[in-house]
A and B are shown apart, each in its own frame.
Chain A
Amino acid sequence: MKAATKSIKLLLSLILSLTLLLTACSSNGGQGADSDKNSEGKVVIDFWTFWGSEIRRPVIEKIIQDFNNSQDKIEVKHTYLPFGDIWTKNLASIAAGKPADVIINDINQVAHRAQNNQNTNLSKYMEKDPEVKDRFFPELYKASLYKGEPYALPFNTDTRMLFYNKDMFKEVGLDPNKPPATWEELEEYGKKLDIKNGKNYDRIGYLPNYKMGAEVWMINADGKSYWDYKKEKPIIDDPSNIEALTWFKDYYDYYGSNVINKFQAEFGEETADPFISGKLAMTTETTNFFTKIRDYGEDINFGIAPLPAKEPGKSQTSWGGGFVAEIPKGAEHPDEAWEFLKYLTDVQAQEHWAVKGFDNVANIEASKKAAENPEFSEDGKMVYTASVKNLEETIITPVPLQAPDFTNLINPELEKVLLGKQSPKEGLKKAQRAVEQLVKNNK
C-alpha cells in the first residue's frame, strides 16, 4: 500500500509541475499580447471582425491601414473570425477577461449585451465628443442605446426595397416607370406578370414569402411588428398584424405551398437567381442585391422602388438590420479603442466601405457622398441613392430584453398559418400568449 501512495504522490507532483509549466507558458504568451506598446512605441489594439471574404477583407483592411497611418499612437491589428464562431469566442474571451478591444457585432442585440455586461458604456467618451452621435441615422443610433446610454456605434446597415424587371412590365402592358405603390397594385401587377404552364408556373410576378416574410409587411403597415418598444410588451396579435398576415396568406394561397415549393426548388445562386434568370418579375431584397444583378445579370433592365404601402398615401416603411462596432467589457485599451471607433464611423472610412462593398452605412454624410461617387455606374448610383432615401423610412427591430429569443416562438406559428393548419388570427394569438409567458418567465 505504501508503495502505491508513494508513486501516486510522485505522479501528483509531476502533474503539478507540468501544470505549473503550462500556466507559466500561458502567462508568458499573455504578457506578449498584453504588452502595451509595440516596437515603435504604439499601443496595439485588437479588432475582431467576421469580414474575411475576398470582397470585404481588403476593404476593412484598407480602412485599418489608413487609420494606422493617420496617427502615431495606436496600431490596430485585424483578427478575422468566421461568422459562426465570433460571438461565442467573444463571450468566452470576455468571461476570461481578455477580450478584443473592438469588435463588430449585431445591432439588434446591443442592449441585450449591455444588460449582460458584455460591452462598454460609451457615454463618458460621448460627452467629450458630443458631435459623434449626430453623424448616424437616428434609428440606428437609437438601436445602440441601453437605458438611454450608448454602448456601441452603428457601422453598416441595410434596407429592403422592391426590384422589378422593366422589360417584363412592358411585355404585359404595364408602365415600366410606375412600380406598384400599394399592396393591391403589387398583387394585381404580380398576377398579370405570371406565366402559367399547366398546373405550374414558368414565371411568377411576385412571390410572397420569398426573401421577405409576413413580419416585414406588418412593419410596412404601421411601423410596428411584434413588440411595442415604448410599453415594452408584445403586440403580436394586434389587428394591424392580423390584417397584414391575412393579406399575405391569401396571396400565398393563390399559388399554394405545393406549387411554390416546386417553383422554389429550382432557385439557385448567381445566374440561377430567380430574378436574374427571369423566373420572378419582382422581388423584395436588401439593396445590396444590386451587386448580384451587376455581376450576373448585365442585360436586365431593372427598376427599384420602396416597398408598396398598405393603402394609397400610407407610409412605405421598410425593415433593416446591421452591425455596430463596440468595445467588449473588460477590454484593455478602451481609450484607444474609442479613437478607432470614431474613425470607423467617420465620413472617410464609411464612404470607403459604402463604395467598395456597395453596402449601406450608418453615417448620413458618408451615405450621401457615396451616392455621388464616380466609381458607381449609372445603375449603381440610382440604386444607392434610392437606398439612402429609403433608410429614412427604415425601421430596426432590436430584440426585446424581456424576450431575446421570441422569434423561436413566433415563427413556427407563422409557418403553421402558411401551411393552413390554423388561421392567421389563431396563429398570432397563440404566439402572443407564448411570448407573454416567456416575458413573465424572464422577469
Chain B
Amino acid sequence: MQTNLQKNIKRQAPNKKPKRLFSMNQKEEFQGYIFIAPWVIGFLIFTAGPLLFSLYGSFTNFNITSSLSFIGLDNYKRMFTNDGLMWTSLWNTLYYVAISVPLTTAGAVLLAVLLNQNVPGTRLFRTIYYLPAVLSGVGVYLLWMQLLSPSSGLVNTLLSWVGIEGPSWLSDPAWTKPALIFMKLWSLGGGMLLYLASLQGVSKSLYEAAEIDGANVFRKFFHITLPMITPIIFFDLVTSFIGGFQIFQEAYVMSDSGNGGPANSLLFYNLHMWNKAFEVFDMGYAMAMSWILFIIILVLTVINLKLAPRWVHYDGEDRK
C-alpha cells in the first residue's frame, strides 16, 4: 500500500515532463508480471484448471468419451457404501502411514545424532547413508524385489545365517506391507540430512551449561537436542504424512501387473484410484476418490498444525 500511496503523491505533483506511456513504477510492475507469467499461466492451465474440473467431474459420471452428466453425490455415496475395495485400500494406506511415518522420522533423527558425533570416518558414513536417498524410482524397487526374493534374496540369506527362516516377503499378504516399510527405511538419508543440518545449528553453550549442571547424555538429548530440532521434526512429519498418503509407485511396480499384490494387500488408495481411472476409465468416480483423499490429508495437516504449538519449540520464542 505504501508504494501505491507514494505513487499517488507523485502523480499529483505538478509535472511538466513529456508524457511517457508508462511511469518507471508501472514499467517495473509490468516487468514483474512478465517474469512470473510463465508460472502463472502454467499454474492456471495445468494445475488450477484440471483441479477445478476434477471437482466438477467428481459429481458426474465422466468416462472421457461418452458421458459427462451430473449425478450429484452418487460417486461419493457409492464410495462409502458400495465399494469394499475402497475400504481395503484406505486401510492399507493408513496402516502404511501409521507405521512408516513414525519409524522413518525416529530412524532419521537417530541416524543424524549418530552421524553428528565427532568420530573418524563420519564424513564417509554420512555419504554412505545418504546415497540411497539419491537413488529412487523403479530401479530401486526392482532391486528390492530381488533382495526380498524368498529363496535366493539377500535378505533371507542373511536371516538364514542367524537361523531364521525368512518369510516370502512380497508374496505373503501378511508380509507385503512390512516389506515395503522396510524398504522405505533404507532411504532415510534424505530426512537424516535435514536433521544433521539442524543439529549443527544447536548452540554449544547449551550443552556446556547442561554439563556444568551435571546432565548425562540422555538428559542432554531429551532436554536440549530434541527440543531444539522440533521445527524440523514437525516439517518432516507434515511432509511425510502427505507423501505417505500418496504412496502409489511402489505398489504399482512391486505387484503383478499393478493389481495391488497378493490378496489386495498392497492395494493402496492411490492405486485403487488409478485402476478406476485408467483401467476401467471410471473417471468421475476416481475424481471423487481424489477429493476424499485431499480432504483426509487436509484434516490431518490441520490437526498437525493445531498440535504443533504444544511440542514444537522455536528458538527465541518464550515458553508460555
Contacts and interface: CB of A to CB of B under 8 A. Distances in A.
A4 interface: yes
Interface string B112-128: 00000000000000000
B278 A437 contact: no
B65 A437 contact: no
Interface stretch (A6-14, A152-160, A374-382): A6-14
A437 B82 contact: yes
Interface in A1-37: 1, 3-4, 6-8, 10-11, 14-15
B151 A118 contact: no
Interface in B51-88: 63-67, 78, 82, 84-85
A11 B37 CA distance: 9
B304 interface: no
Interface in B13-68: 22-23, 25-26, 29-30, 33-34, 37, 41, 63-67
A412 B280 contact: no
Contacts of B153: 265
Contacts of B34: 11, 14
* Interface range for B: 35 or more
Interface in B133-186: 149-153, 168, 171-173
A411 B37 contact: no
Contact of B65 (A4, A7, A117, A262): A117
Contacts of B275: 405, 408
Contacts of A88: 278
Given A265-B150, A265-B152, A7 B66 contact: no
B171 A405 contact: no
Interface string A401-443: 0001100110110011001010000000000001001000100
B26 A6 contact: yes
Given A257-B171, A265-B150, A415-B262, A91 B82 contact: no
A258 B168 contact: yes
A51 B196 CA distance: 51
Interface of B: 4, 7, 22-23, 25-26, 29-30, 33-34, 37, 41, 63-67, 78, 82, 84-85, 149-153, 168, 171-173, 259-260, 262-264, 275-276, 278-281
Interface of A: 1, 3-4, 6-8, 10-11, 14-15, 88, 91-92, 94-95, 115-118, 257-258, 261-262, 265-266, 329, 404-405, 408-409, 411-412, 415-416, 419, 421, 434, 437, 441
